[in-house]
Copies of this chain bind each other. A is one copy, B any other.
Amino acid sequence: MTDQSLFDQAFMESPALSRKERERLMRRQAMLEAARAVFAEKGYVDATLDEIAQRAEFGKGTLYNYFPGGKDELFFAVFEEIFAQFRQLIETSFAGAPSFREGFEAFLRASFQFFEQHRDMLLLVTRESQRMLVSPDPERAAFFQHHHTAFLQLLTRHIQAAIERGEVRPLPAEAVAHTILGNLHGLAMHRLLKECAVGKPDHHLGTTEEATRFLSTLLLEGLLNRTQSSEAP
């Protein structure tokens, strides 16, 4: 999956586009890239259209030719891209896996890689996504809740199937899905903060592989040490 899957997709699926239309698409994409960078750096509120326009090398008015809905439309469009990529990542990871465990580990690995490659997106999601879920603006809240629910459903399906196959404990699947997403995001942030604070990656979780194994062990096997009797306190 590339950085620009939605863009490529639009490009590929309509090879009959005129030069003008292709150019328009390119410009739109440039604006989106600029918006993503500025939103990631400043957050929704502190990002200004002037800065986005400047970064995209267009006048502010031009943004409105491409995104008539203004700041909000730009913002939603940025997230639409991120979310589409992540949905695809979930599906790809579990697709060919022979067991839940293997699908799950593939999913963790792909996610950590994804966040590592796209720090700006991780920051953006951290800064805004949670916050928007409980936004007082109903349109914003609805947009984010819709996508959030979509992730949950994708994961929930795989978990439910694993429960029915007896691979996974009979726990409420949706809550498990929610927990997994929370862990993933939390651990990715932990690694990022550690790296920023200390200047180098976390001792034990520096590599994608270490992070994957940690979360896989923790979630699949649990915290309790099973080498000793699990009955004695």
Binding site for B on A (CB under 8 A): 41-43, 45-46, 98-99, 101-102, 123, 126-128, 130-131, 133-136, 145, 166-172, 175-176, 178-179, 181-183, 185-187, 189-190, 193, 197, 202-205, 214-215, 217-225, 227-228, 233
Contact = CB atoms under 8 A, between A and B. Distances in A.
A217 B41 CA distance: 39
A221 B225 CA distance: 9
A3 B181 CA distance: 31
A130 to B, nearest CB: 6
A182 to B, nearest CB: 3
Nearest to A104: B223
A217 to B, nearest CB: 7
24 contacts: A42-B136, A99-B233, A126-B131, A127-B131, A134-B193, A145-B197, A166-B228, A167-B224, A168-B225, A169-B224, A169-B225, A171-B214, A172-B202, A172-B205, A172-B214, A175-B202, A175-B204, A176-B223, A179-B190, A182-B182, A182-B186, A183-B183, A183-B186, A220-B223
